[in-house]
Amino acid sequence: MNRPERVPVPNNLESFWMPFTANRQFKKDPRLFVKAEGMHYWTSDGRKVLDGTAGLWCCNVGHSRPKVVEAVQRQIAELDYAPAFQMGHPKAFELAARLVNYLPSPLDHVFFTNSGSESVETALKIAIAYQRARGKGTKTRLIGRERGYHGVNFGGISVGGIPNNRKFFGSLLTGVDHIRHTHDLSRNAFTRGEPEYGAEYAEDLERVIALHDASTIAAVIVEPVAGSTGVLIPPKGYLKRLREICDKHDILLIFDEVITGFGRLGTPFAVEYFDVVPDMVTCAKGITSGVIPMGGVFVTKDIYDTFMTGPEHMIELFHGYTYSAHPVACAAALGTLDTYEDEGLLTRGAELAPYWETALHTLKGLPHVIDVRNIGLIGAIELESIPGEPTKRAFTAFLEAYEKGVLIRTTGDIIALSPPLIISKDEIDEIVATLAMVLKNLA
């Protein structure tokens, strides 16, 4: 693509209250993208930046891909919107029927939302309503995990385990508890793929169940691989053990696959990668490759049938969004699925993973690097923090890498990487070489 025109930084930055951004700092030194194509962004000052993060873990097919662009353009001109309740349009049914093929039976129904946060709220509400519909109305408690991220709505921050996302917002949902996280560098530093040690952390669920009694617990929600809190990869056997404990106590297991869904691990969903089948799977991001907001919740046949055959007042789920299964989002998703399928992208991560892993682990030994970890096409480099400044080193690395033309993401002092699934080996080398240069010079 031709280099886009340089665009002057606008002089009207004040009114936009930016999300998850230190606004005052940003507005002094703004970073603006004006164009994207394939693996790259272009900045307003005319620089090309290699996308090492697929936007925010979402642009899995790369940017401005023709099938997606055309599908969206065609759809807006043809049917811009259809009422979401008591009405439908063909593409919503076509999309649902195609999507359920990516998950094993019995996960064969999908409820559409507009984001990961909405998918989480939907799954939590379905869990509680399902227990009630099958005559187990005392099962209302929800169990999340420390260092879990499940979006920013009240349900999501309640089951989530990030102190800053919770502590400013009042008393949150009642009846929520957390199991411990699985991150353990004392035993698992510099692991390639799934860590060897820590399956026993799943037993913490037994502790919480003993505390509250299984008859009060509706569901457990975890990210198979926690992304936003720094790429926490489950130890071997951990997720299987969670499934066993949930089965033993008749508790639903929800996988939040907002990041891991749609090829991130080299399989369509993490369900297949870890060979563990939960009762619900949330998704968003990669469903439309980030082009139009959309999310979804996959549920088992049993959950769906319980509502459809349950007491009369439950046959309808009293939940939904004006934009559930929005026609333009459905078109974007269908164009995205076509691209995944035509280019084999949902399994491309598995082919590239060995190269990705070897390349990333060359960063071991550079200053301040206390861990390198990877799974599928996700990677993380954890840095030793400057005492009292727990985010400074990684954020400096982010700014330096951006200046050098590579987009990375940081959380605390962890650098997270999740490139579009179309990345080439040369581009993997470029990311790693840039990071090596940045890390060598980091104070």
Taking CB under 6 A as the binding criterion, the range among 86-94, 144-152, 309-317, 415-423 that sits at the site for ligand PMP is 144-152
Minimum Å gap between C-beta 152 and ligand PMP is: 6
142 binds ligand PMP (CB under 6 A): no
227 binds ligand PMP (CB under 6 A): yes
Identify the helix (H) or strand (E) that includes residue 113. Answer: strand 109-113
261 binds ligand PMP (CB under 6 A): no
Minimum Å gap between C-beta 117 and ligand PMP is: 3
228 binds ligand PMP (CB under 6 A): yes
Go through 32-47 and write b for each residue having 16 or more CB atoms within 10 A of its CB, e for each that does not.
ebebbeebbbbbbeee
51 binds ligand PMP (CB under 6 A): no
225 binds ligand PMP (CB under 6 A): no
258 binds ligand PMP (CB under 6 A): yes
3-state SS, residue 83 = coil
Report residue 190 as tokens.
């510099």
Q: Name which of 116 and 379 has its Cβ closer to ligand PMP.
A: 116
Q: Name which of 42 and 255 has its Cβ closer to ligand PMP.
A: 255
The amino acid that residue 323 corresponds to is Y
Residues 113-132 that bind ligand PMP (CB under 6 A): 115-117, 120
> N- to C-terminal Cα distance for the chain?
37
The amino acid that residue 116 corresponds to is G
149 binds ligand PMP (CB under 6 A): yes
Minimum Å gap between C-beta 418 and ligand PMP is: 10
- x/- mask, ligand PMP, residues 272-291, rule CB under 6 A, reads ------------x-------
Dist CA 146 CA 43 (whole Å): 36
Which residue has the closest beta carbon to ligand PMP? 116
Residues 72-91 that bind ligand PMP (CB under 6 A): none
Report residue 345 as tokens.
């992208």
Number of residues that bind ligand PMP (CB under 6 A): 15
60 neighbors 421 (Cβ within 8 angstroms): yes
Q: Name which of 42 and 238 has its Cβ closer to ligand PMP.
A: 238
Dist CA 287 CA 267 (whole Å): 14
Q: Name which of 116 and 266 has its Cβ closer to ligand PMP.
A: 116
**Phi and psi torsions of 154, nearest 5°:** -60, -40
CA distances to 64, 158, 170, 411 from 162, rounded to whole Å, are 33, 9, 14, 11
158 binds ligand PMP (CB under 6 A): no
Q: Name which of 146 and 223 has its Cβ closer to ligand PMP.
A: 223
125 neighbors 319 (Cβ within 8 angstroms): yes
Minimum Å gap between C-beta 90 and ligand PMP is: 26
Pairing of strands 40-43, 217-222: unpaired
Identify the helix (H) or strand (E) that includes residue 425. Answer: helix 425-440
3-state SS, residue 134 = coil
Residues 345-364 that bind ligand PMP (CB under 6 A): none
Angle at 119 between CA 165 and CA 376, to 5 degrees: 85
For residue 344, what is the DSSP state? T
The amino acid that residue 27 corresponds to is K
95 binds ligand PMP (CB under 6 A): no
Taking CB under 6 A as the binding criterion, the range among 136-144, 254-262, 368-376, 386-394 that sits at the site for ligand PMP is 254-262
Identify the helix (H) or strand (E) that includes residue 209. Answer: helix 204-212
Taking CB under 6 A as the binding criterion, the range among 33-41, 148-156, 298-306, 432-440 that sits at the site for ligand PMP is 148-156
For residues 204, 205, 207, 208, the Cα torsion angle rounded to the nearest 10 degrees is 130
Q: Name which of 159 and 353 has its Cβ closer to ligand PMP.
A: 159
Among 121, 256, 279, 371, which residue interacts with ligand PMP (rule: CB under 6 A)?
256
Minimum Å gap between C-beta 281 and ligand PMP is: 11
151 binds ligand PMP (CB under 6 A): yes
Dist CA 298 CA 253 (whole Å): 12
Minimum Å gap between C-beta 416 and ligand PMP is: 11
Pairing of strands 280-283, 252-256: parallel
What residues line the site for ligand PMP (CB under 6 A)? Answer: 57, 115-117, 120, 149-151, 223, 227-228, 256, 258-259, 284
